[in-house]
Amino acid sequence: MSSSAPIGVLGGTFDPVHYGHLRLAEELAGALKLDEVRFIPSGTPPHRSAPRVSPEHRLEMARLATAGNARFKVDERESRRAGPGYTFDTLSELRVEAGGARPLALLVGADAFLEFATWHRWHELFGLAHVVVAHRPGFPVERWSERMPQPLAREYSARLMQQPLSIHLSPAGGIAVVAFTALDISATAIRDMLRAGASPRYLLPGAVLDYIQARRLYS
């Protein structure tokens, strides 16, 4: 990959990381020809309750999950940050590191994008990165804007890229929508299974499950 190819940014609690996260990153990296995907476990997420386990455990699980893929990188910055882990702050730092010309692509699921207008300084995120929205095949994209609040619908209409690979042509500012093979796996369900003594094997990498069981996380 070229050193000027886009960097994908995938944030989340990863509590725990599972194959749904990994598949999304893999498919979008291939479809968009990303140079790398940064997995960024949050420390103190501003929009949801605190994760069940510490940032250190979630970082290590992310490292174990991504170890076999040279395109995947684990970024510690939000886990080490004091206070809420705002995407605006993370992208601002990445923009300085990447320089003004290299594209950044913020990878989000369709459900998360519908809440985008509630994010901290969300209008300004378009000045830092493209937003890539991953959705299930068959998702009614043509009527999607009807479900958005008006400010977000206007941004979506103005910034939507007809060709997702257009993210290579500018450093930030667009919205690309990409279908991917969504796996019906949730971290909540995995935690529930572990608490109940059931096995979530094959919903997440074996190395991650071994780490969880050795430390009795979530039980």
Mean pLDDT by 10 residues, the chain (219 residues): 82 96 97 98 74 93 97 96 89 97 96 94 98 87 86 95 97 96 94 97 98 96
pLDDT at 1: 40
pLDDT at 179: 93
pLDDT at 140: 78
**Domains assigned to the chain:** 7-215 (3.40.50.620)
**How many residues are listed for the chain in this entry?**
219
pLDDT at 2: 47
Tell me the whole-structure pTM to 2 decimals. Answer: 0.94
